[in-house]
Structure 1
Amino acid sequence: MTPLPRYLTAALALSLMAASAQADSTKNSLITAFSTITSLEDGWEPMEFPKIDRHSRYQLTDDNGEQVVMATTDNSASGLIARVSVEPGDSLILRWRWKVSNVYEQGNARKKEGDDYPARIYVAFEFEPDEAGFFERAKRKTVEVVFGEELPGNALNYIWANRLPVGEIVANPFTDTTMMVAVNSGTANTGEWVTVERDIVADYRKAFDREPPKLVGVAIMSDSDNTGASATAWYGDVSLVKPD
């Protein structure tokens, strides 16, 4: 048998190491992996918003032999959320990979009419009443009574932005309780799988200038209701791991 050239051997070794690392992170993850489920109801549930009737579509699909979630958005908005209850501690690692077909020409993280993303990871934290003002508490209570569920508090949104530079953090144009973190931006890498890893605790400290409360949910979301645009996104396994 003819031995493989050294560069092919090295490439194969790196590929196997990456696959092993991904398997380990999935195994220890606090979130159910998309690659292991038989239905989107296995560990995930729809995340929908008041007054938005047109929802994005999510379905399991195969991509080069691996099961992933394909999201289709067309002037629509909704997500899939995994409910958790996790004390962040000193470090909490969120890792995922995603791919998008395109970004939005009218997308702009600083403006309400541009607050759409072909792909985002939404990280929700427990509400802290002691940190909120009277009007914020009253508004939340009214919404909870009307819609019958407890609302989360602050949130981090990891976004595939159109123009916001990678690494920049800005307040959501609708509410300063949600901070937008650009982890990809523009057309670079569209149509390609991109792997992202973030320390949620470090990002929360930087975004809100205090320690994070309990983590209550992690969601995937592709939306286009403000821009009226359309896109397709693919989400691989999303893992949430506490370092040893």
Structure 2
Amino acid sequence: MANFRARIWRIVSLLRNFLLLIGAVGIAAEPLPAGWQQRSFVGHTQYRLEQQQGREVILAHSQGTASMLYKEQSIDLRSTPVVRWRWKVAAVYGRFNEREKSGDDYPARFYVVCKTGPLPWQTLALNYVWSSNGLVGERWPNAYTSKAMMIVLRAGAAQVGQWQWEQRNLRADFKQAFGVDVNHLDGYAIMVDGDNTGSTGTAWFGDISFSAN
């Protein structure tokens, strides 16, 4: 029951623009980029800055934990609908069903969230994931809420240990996922979690940017 409640609060927090979480603990054991904040849901995923190939990136390491590094930022998708970032994972997880609550863990996630009204549940989220068992291009509603769509951009172990660049048109993805036109974001986040499956994961994220095309 305690774990179930923790997971529910995790989704509530995401869908409230990462700002509210009952019982959550903010941590910052290592220096983080300006404007980023951390929230712990189950234990503490470790986030810290690293230099790789002369560029600053964020390392995330989870040992059966789940905490999010988020950035509250208003972004006009009418002028800058395209997001780019790069990421790398050290390994993928075991044979878990990621569409069920018991398997809702990923070696790397990148979230974007939009408020659609003043109430907590009036939000939509896209959750781009590096899947352990899915197929690239697959998508499904999050195991805890239909307001968050999971979208598989990378899958399996073939590209483990290699930097991968991503580029997505967020307006197009929101339209496809929810059938609505979204003109702004209220925040975005990165995450490595392993609390449901007891998994250990390490990932790196860098060069997040928004542009016209």
TM-score by length of 1: 0.70
* 2:73 pairs with 1:84: yes
For this pair of structures, how many residues does the alignment match?
184
* 2:37 pairs with 1:45: yes
1:216 — aligned with what? 186
* 2:89 pairs with 1:100: yes
Trace 1:197-212 onto structure 2 (pairs within 5 A): 197-212=167-182
d(CA) in 1 for partners of 2:152, 2:197: 18
d(CA) in 1 for partners of 2:130, 2:97: 11
* 2:56 pairs with 1:70: no
Which of residues 137, 156, 159 is equivalent to 2:129? 159
Amino acid at match of 2:125: A
1:132 — aligned with what? none
Q: Which has a greater percent of strand? A: 2
1:41 Cα deviation from its structure 2 partner:
4.8
Contact 2:131/2:154, CA 8 A, preserved across alignment: yes
Contact 1:96/1:195, CA 8 A, preserved across alignment: yes
1:47 Cα deviation from its structure 2 partner:
3.3
Q: Provide closer, same or farther for how the CA distance between residues 152 and 214 of structure 1 changes in structure 2, counting only shifts above 3 A.
A: farther
Percent sequence identity over matched residues?
39
**What is the root-mean-square deviation of aligned Cα atoms in Å?**
1.9
Contact 1:91/1:200, CA 8 A, preserved across alignment: no
2:159 — aligned with what? 189
1:240 Cα deviation from its structure 2 partner:
1.7
Gaps of 5+ in 2: 1-29
d(CA) in 1 for partners of 2:83, 2:33: 21
1:213 Cα deviation from its structure 2 partner:
4.8
1:212 Cα deviation from its structure 2 partner:
1.4
| 1:64-99 alpha-carbon deviations (Å, 9 max, x no partner) | 222211110011011111111123227611101111
* 2:116 pairs with 1:127: yes
Contact 1:108/1:162, CA 8 A, preserved across alignment: no
What SS does the aligned partner of 1:154 have?
A: strand
Runs of 4+ in 1 over 3 A off after TM superposition: none
| 1:85-136 alpha-carbon deviations (Å, 9 max, x no partner) | 123227611101111011110443311111111111011111336xxxxxxx
1:15 — aligned with what? none
d(CA) in 2 for partners of 1:227, 1:239: 32
What SS does the aligned partner of 1:225 have?
A: coil
1:182 Cα deviation from its structure 2 partner:
0.3
Q: Which has a greater percent of helix? A: 1
Contact 1:106/1:227, CA 8 A, preserved across alignment: no
